[in-house]
Amino acid sequence: MSENAEIRYQGQSWEFPVVVGTENEKGIDIQKLRDRTGLVTLDNGYQNTGSTKSAITFIDGDKGILRYRGYPIEELAQKATFPETAYLLIYGELPTAEQLRIFRQRLTENSMIHEDMLHFLTGMPPSAHPMGILSSMVNALALFYPRFYVEDMDAATFDQMAVSLISKVRTIAAFSYKKSIGEPFVYPRADKTYCANFLNMMFDSHAKPYSEDPLFIEALNALLIVHADHEQNCSTSTVRLVGSSYANLYASICAGICALWGPLHGGANQKAMETLSMIQKNGWTAEQVIAKAKDKKDLFLLHGFGHRVYKSYDPRAKVLKNLVERVFSTKNIQDPLLNIALELEQLALKDEYFIERKLYPNVDFYSGILYRAMGIPEDMFTVMFAIGRMPGWIAHWKEMHDEGNLKIGRPRQIYTGPTVRSFVPKEERV
Ligand code: SDX
């Protein structure tokens, strides 16, 4: 059912089609707005602007719903594996047993990085942030692996790029950790699953062999699944925008990693953990922290709280909070930072400021607690987010190129600078 929206301005009126999605979301199609009216729209932070139609992920922020290709995140986190979810996001359907076997085999076969890439890694300073390493190394993948321009890209080349990125991102991440602690790199193994391979590359060493921990493997699997996609968030929109210029997939993903690094986005998981540690170190009470978060004169932000789309509890935060409780009780882990987080949440959810602004815990509030329990260091938390988000970024890049009528992303603006004026020689400038 197509409806129209009417815009009236200075005595004229125009009708524009309204696009209705499969979940009954509605958007005014303004592609002809400027041609017909001379007007553009202005929308700081794109809070009301849809950049595309997409069939990958659906979010209902008011009801706290998140589905990948129609499957609820709660079910996938409990019943699927991360490779299965990656396949679903990229190709649109859950893989058959045979498709999954082949996909997993290709992930295993593509887990190594070119030995010459290690020169980049070893040349970086020991204190290099793992997100800076990851973005540099992912961009370098385009130098070592099939060089292609998007116009020449066929399905087989795309498939190769996709498994290469999803698999190698683990290896790069684990190698950056080993480098930071001065230990030799542990290479991926063909006999380990996706998550088990990553944890082994991170924590195995000759001095202290790492034995697989099924509960941590299960927890990591769920963590990566809940991070795998989130429709048109900042980093995914970045991947699409860079990809719209026909930049190659590695360059587009590198840009997405850089966008994710920001503390208002994926960097929030590291900041949230740093906040909890600061609260513990300074002996602040939860009341003092909530007061700081509400104080406009105080630059303090309660990272891990609030969301552009979720105006109710982030369903991913619910999954992770339950997972924390299960892992901690099974392993009898005591972590004072978890108690601080639970107390903060309890207070915030009863506080008028948070209620009025619909600020709830988001995916970044509890994820760090789990990573920390696994022994993953804080500066690797956003790298973990990137490992999870990789299939989502790839899926959106593919969807954009598959659509066919790809337009380079080029927003308009309203100019507010000086009107025309003539050049003044420096001698005459005051
Ligand atoms: C992710 O978009 C996605 O989908 C992202 C993501 C994904 O999976 O890709 O979900 C991942 O990035 C989650 C968000 C992680 N970031 C943080 O946890 C950082 C802390 N949160 C805030 O910076 C903020 O809530 C954002 C950035 C998440 C959302 O910002 P918006 O939508 O632009 O909202 P806003 O900043 O305009 O806030 C509205 C009001 C403001 O107060 P008023 O001016 O109305 O008085 O809420 C306040 C804000 O000051 N507010 C907070 C707050 N978050 C918002 N106040 C205190 N602490 C906070 N955390």
Instruction: Give the model's confidence band at 56: pLDDT under 50 very low, under 70 low, under 90 confident, else very high.
Output: very high
User: Tell me: the pLDDT tens digits for 156-195?
Assistant: 999 999 999 999 999 999 999 999 999 999 999 999 999 9
Residues sharing a CB contact under 8 Å with residue 23, sequence separation 6 or more, in sequence order: 58, 60
Do the beta carbons of residue 150 and residue 170 sit within 8 Å? no
Give me the mean pLDDT over the 345-352 stretch. 95
Do the beta carbons of residue 212 and residue 195 sit within 8 Å? no
State the average pLDDT for the chain: 95
Instruction: Give the model's confidence band at 2: pLDDT under 50 very low, under 70 low, under 90 confident, else very high.
Output: low
| pLDDT at residue 292 greater than cutoff 70 | yes
pLDDT score at 308: 95
Q: Check residues 112 and 153 and name the one with the higher pLDDT.
A: 112
Ligand 1 centroid vs 383 CA: distance in angstroms?
A: 20
Ligand 1 centroid vs 423 CA: distance in angstroms?
A: 44
Instruction: Give the model's confidence band at 146: pLDDT under 50 very low, under 70 low, under 90 confident, else very high.
Output: low
Return the best residue to mutate from 235, 353, 359 for the ligand 1 pocket (most ligand atoms within 8 A of CB). Answer: 359
Do the beta carbons of residue 249 and residue 107 sit within 8 Å? no
pTM (predicted TM-score): 0.96
**CA-to-CA distance for 19 and 4, rounded, in angstroms?**
9
User: Tell me: the pLDDT tens digits for 118-138?
Assistant: 999 999 998 999 999 999 999
Do the beta carbons of residue 209 and residue 317 sit within 8 Å? no
Return the best residue to mutate from 264, 300, 311, 390 for the ligand 1 pocket (most ligand atoms within 8 A of CB). Answer: 264
The closest of 196, 198, 144 to 175, measured between CA atoms, is 198
Residue nearest to atom 23 of ligand 1 (CA): 264
| pLDDT at residue 1 greater than cutoff 60 | no
Count of CB atoms situated within 10 Å of the CB of 301: 16
Residue ranges lining ligand 1, Cβ < 6 Å:
45, 230, 233, 264-266, 268, 293, 301-309, 357, 359, 362-364
Instruction: Give the model's confidence band at 211: pLDDT under 50 very low, under 70 low, under 90 confident, else very high.
Output: very high
**CA-to-CA distance for 187 and 185, rounded, in angstroms?**
6
Return the best residue to mutate from 274, 302, 357 for the ligand 1 pocket (most ligand atoms within 8 A of CB). Answer: 357
Give me the mean pLDDT over the 380-407 stretch. 96
Give me the mean pLDDT over the 59-66 stretch. 97
Instruction: Give the model's confidence band at 148: pLDDT under 50 very low, under 70 low, under 90 confident, else very high.
Output: low
Q: Give the 3-state secondary structure of residue 406.
A: coil
Residue nearest to atom 31 of ligand 1 (CA): 308
Question: Which residue has tokens 């790199």?
Answer: 185
pLDDT score at 401: 95
Residues labelled catalytic: 307, 364
Instruction: Give the model's confidence band at 153: pLDDT under 50 very low, under 70 low, under 90 confident, else very high.
Output: confident
Which domains are seen in the chain, by residue range?
Answer: 4-65 (2.20.28), 74-227+250-260+387-401 (1.10.580.10), 268-373 (1.10.230.10)
Instruction: Give the model's confidence band at 150: pLDDT under 50 very low, under 70 low, under 90 confident, else very high.
Output: confident
